[in-house]
Amino acid sequence: MHGTAQLLLPVLVAAPILVACLLVAAGPFLPRRIVDSLAIATALAVTAAAALLLVATGSGRRVSWSGGWQPVRRVTVGIPFVADPVAAGLALLIAALTTCTLVYAWHYFDETESHLHALILFFLAGMEGLVLTGDLFDMIVFFELMGVAGYALTGIKVEDESAVEGALNFGIVNSLGAYLSLAGLVVLYARVGKLDLPGLGDALAHHPPDALVVASFVLIVTGFLVKAAMVPFHFWLPDAHASAPAPVCALFSGVMVELGLYGVLRLFWVVYGETIPPADLRRALLVLGVATAVLGSAMCFGQRHLKRLLAFSTIAHVGLIMVMAAMLTPDGIGAAGLYVLGHAGAISALFLITGLLLNRHGSADELDLFGRARGERVLLVLFFAAALALVGLPPFGTALGVSIAVHAIVSAGYPWILALLVLVSAVTAGAVLRSGMRVFLAVGPAPEHSQSAPDETTTGDEERDTRPLQRTPGTMLAAIVVLVLGSLAVGVLPHGGEVVAKAAERFIDGSGYSDQALSSAPPTPLHAHPAATWSPLGVGLGVLSTLLALGFAALGLWPDRLRLLLRPMQAGMKPVRALHTGHVGDYVAWLFAGVAALAALVGLPLL
């Protein structure tokens, strides 16, 4: 191993923690401007370091054993940090997104002093740690760090009654998920006596998938699936998003939720890849992904609280990402990776714009806001650009993801999934377009009484994130512009697909991961991926989704014209909506039902 890039690995985790500690200690004595600058500078530095690391991983993985406990004969007591291109790419996305949200939150939350910044930096460190660590126990530790910072950020508006409640449910459900993960880890540890991912991969290679192996896998991934908001582990997400501050939502939806999927896939490829048959896992992940995408999009369309609407859109899209990744091929993983990048820019921008609307007009309800943002040209352009990125209109990054996914899905033999992709994108983006048309353009009939049928769905009554601003600061707009452009850049940059496909190929090479970490074996050469680029079918599907999304938006705006069509849909959705009760007992009951279902999906075919 040559070069010094691996030295960056622990720094990416430790640097934000050190600065956050400084902010905790000295924050009360520092002027607000310094606190803001310090936090942003740190996030920027981490972004730069992650970019360097990403470049360095082009020639193979970077490994750093902490404590100098290098493995001897593939065995050690130490903990590795490992970066392959996927991990480094995610590290870059995390840091860049955090920078954007910190820039946006300049002037935010005067009453929490430096604590908000410290929490965001701890959250950043937790996410970086989760993607970069090569140790199973540390994955859970960083997962919890991410969680603890996340619960606090969700409930930070203590005056908002749904914020604290959402944070509490989020905390209980996620912690329980983490405890089940830990239990799974212990079960596995009892058998093999190791905790580092590469070593675990060694130990389980060609190991029969017996009950212990399957049970440990199911329990460990439960924690990650809760974070990834897969049905039926998803209930906490809309509650938490509906009331968390907009920049926090942007971080949650843009990257935190997706990290749950990363955890599942990393664990599978490195540790369980050679014991649990891929076909078996594919079936389980497909069921989860499809259910999540369908439920998320159906729920999304019925919302009027913008943040709740976007939250369900996130659920639907994470479902789609899961479906792409479930192909378990380099193409599928690469497509999912691109989609994550493109989606992050789009959904984060939408959340930040909603945050501005909430600040300006004191509401996040699309009916209350009807026509109230008319004349805000810049926001209008940004909103619709982000909505089109969400639907996957070429040349946004999401569209490139779909384009590559088409190849993966068709060659894996699931052509019907293409219809699902188009429909889910169209329905969610249709809902977003509908609300945008109402809020910015006053299209459609004006709502007669905005508080109609409050029992049907949550209204957008919400406390402002921070005191009302007189005019939109340039920093906030800049953050949104960067996010939208980022989503565009992912699709436009040359060879994007090829780079990501190679990263994916590296990612799924589990034994290569172990070999390079444990015995400094040289990285295996990568193949060319000619199919990983725009395809006519993919572009066509993107355009089709966009047209359908416009249709769905119209359907939402003029529901009276198509009442015959809508009635049965609404009636069908009623019992599903009734499940989203905000009751923590319900959520925990569903959690266990979900674990049982997952165990059946993965385990029963192997009996």
Partner 1 sequence: MSIYAYLVAGYLVLIGSYGIVRSRHMVHAVVSLSVAQGGTYVLLLAVGYQRGATAPVFGSTTKPSTDVVDPVVQAMTLTDIVVSATVTALLLALAVQVNKRHGTVDPDELAALKG
Partner 2 sequence: MTRRTRLVVFLVGAGCVTAMFVLAVLGMPEFGGSHHVYRDLAVHAAVKHRTANVVSSVNFDQRAVDTFGEETILITSVVAAAVLLRPAKGETERRIPQTGRNLAGTRLLGYVLVPITAIVGLDLVIHGHVTPGGGFQGGIVLATGLHLLYVTGSYPALDRLRPIAAFDVTDALGAATFGAVGLAGLGFAGSFLTNVMPWGTFGQLFSGGTVPVLNVAVGLEVFGGIVVLLAKFLEQDITVASSGKEGES
By the 8 A CB rule, do 230 and 318 touch?
A: yes
520: three-class secondary structure by DSSP: coil
> Which CB atom, from 298 or from 373, has the smaller least distance to partner 1?
298
> Which of 48, 51, 215, 573 is in the footprint of partner 2 by CB under 8 A?
215
By the 8 A CB rule, do 46 and 15 touch?
A: yes
Contact flags string 563-602 toward partner 2, x per CB under 8 A: ----------------x-x-x-xx-xxxxxxxxx--xx--
| Window 2-61: residues binding partner 1 (CB under 8 A) | none
> Which CB atom, from 72 or from 578, has the smaller least distance to partner 1?
578
The interface partner of residue 282, options being partner 2, partner 1, none and the CB cut-off 5 to 8 Å by kind, is none
- Least Cα distance to 138 among 91, 178, 190, 90 occurs for 178
> Which CB atom, from 263 or from 337, has the smaller least distance to partner 2?
263
DSSP label at residue 155: T
How far apart, in Å, are the Cα atoms of 463 and each of 103, 285, 349? 21, 38, 20
Contact flags string 303-322 toward partner 1, x per CB under 8 A: x----x--------------
**Least Cβ distance, residue 55 to partner 1 (angstroms):** 34
Residue 589 sits in the site that holds partner 1 (CB under 8 A):
yes
Take residue 192 and report the two structure tokens written for it. Answer: 């093999």
Residues 538, 406: Cα–Cα separation, whole Å: 6
- Least Cα distance to 178 among 238, 135, 119, 219 occurs for 219
| Window 162-191: residues binding partner 1 (CB under 8 A) | 164-165, 167-168, 171-172, 175-176, 179-180, 182-183, 186-187, 189-190
Residues 410, 11: Cα–Cα separation, whole Å: 42
Residue 604 sits in the site that holds partner 2 (CB under 8 A):
no
| Other Cβ atoms within 10 Å of 344 Cβ, number | 28
The interface partner of residue 456, options being partner 1, partner 2, none and the CB cut-off 5 to 8 Å by kind, is partner 1
> Which CB atom, from 187 or from 544, has the smaller least distance to partner 1?
187
Instruction: Determine whether 527 is exposed, middle or buried from the number of CB atoms within 10 Å of its CB (0-12, 13-18, 19+).
Output: exposed
Give me the DSSP letters along 527-547: PP-TTSS--HHHHHHHHHHHH
> Which of 122, 301, 440, 513 is in the footprint of partner 2 by CB under 8 A?
122
Residue 383 sits in the site that holds partner 1 (CB under 8 A):
no
By the 8 A CB rule, do 507 and 86 touch?
A: yes
The interface partner of residue 303, options being partner 2, partner 1, none and the CB cut-off 5 to 8 Å by kind, is partner 1
> Which CB atom, from 158 or from 562, has the smaller least distance to partner 1?
158
| Window 526-585: residues binding partner 1 (CB under 8 A) | 577-578, 580-585
> Which CB atom, from 189 or from 414, has the smaller least distance to partner 1?
189
**Least Cβ distance, residue 559 to partner 1 (angstroms):** 16
| Window 455-514: residues binding partner 2 (CB under 8 A) | none
Strands 62-65, 80-83: pairing is antiparallel
| Side chain identity, residue 241 | H
How far apart, in Å, are the Cα atoms of 429 and each of 300, 392, 473? 9, 9, 27
| Window 123-162: residues binding partner 1 (CB under 8 A) | 137, 141, 144, 147-148, 151-152, 155, 158-161
**Least Cβ distance, residue 599 to partner 2 (angstroms):** 5
- Least Cα distance to 245 among 49, 109, 449, 122 occurs for 109
Residue 212 sits in the site that holds partner 2 (CB under 8 A):
yes
> Which CB atom, from 89 or from 223, has the smaller least distance to partner 1?
223
**Least Cβ distance, residue 255 to partner 2 (angstroms):** 18
User: How many chain residues are in contact with partner 1, going by CB under 8 A?
Assistant: 52
Residues 535, 1: Cα–Cα separation, whole Å: 38
Residue whose tokens read 């990650």: 224
Contact flags string 143-182 toward partner 2, x per CB under 8 A: -xx--xx-xx--xx-xx----x------------------
Residue whose tokens read 């994130």: 465
> Which CB atom, from 91 or from 315, has the smaller least distance to partner 1?
315
Query: Per CB under 8 A, which region of 31-39, 184-192, 500-508, 566-574 contacts partner 2?
Result: 184-192
Residue 239 sits in the site that holds partner 1 (CB under 8 A):
yes
Which residues have C-beta within 8 Å of that of residue 437, sequence separation ≥ 6? 443, 444, 553, 557
**Least Cβ distance, residue 52 to partner 2 (angstroms):** 16
The crossing angle, in degrees rounded to 10, of helices 416-436 and 306-325 is: 160
Beta bridge partners of residue 135, listed in sequence order: 196
The interface partner of residue 176, options being partner 1, partner 2, none and the CB cut-off 5 to 8 Å by kind, is partner 1
- Least Cα distance to 181 among 205, 146, 149 occurs for 146
Give me the DSSP letters along 368-406: TTTTTTTT-HHHHHHHHHHHHHHHT-TTSHHHHHHHHHH
| Window 390-409: residues binding partner 2 (CB under 8 A) | none
**Least Cβ distance, residue 591 to partner 2 (angstroms):** 8
> Which CB atom, from 413 or from 585, has the smaller least distance to partner 2?
585
Residues 288, 66: Cα–Cα separation, whole Å: 36
| Window 450-479: residues binding partner 1 (CB under 8 A) | 455-458
Interface positions with partner 1 (CB under 8 A):
137, 141, 144, 147-148, 151-152, 155, 158-161, 164-165, 167-168, 171-172, 175-176, 179-180, 182-183, 186-187, 189-190, 195, 238-239, 299, 302-303, 308, 455-458, 577-578, 580-586, 588-589, 591-592
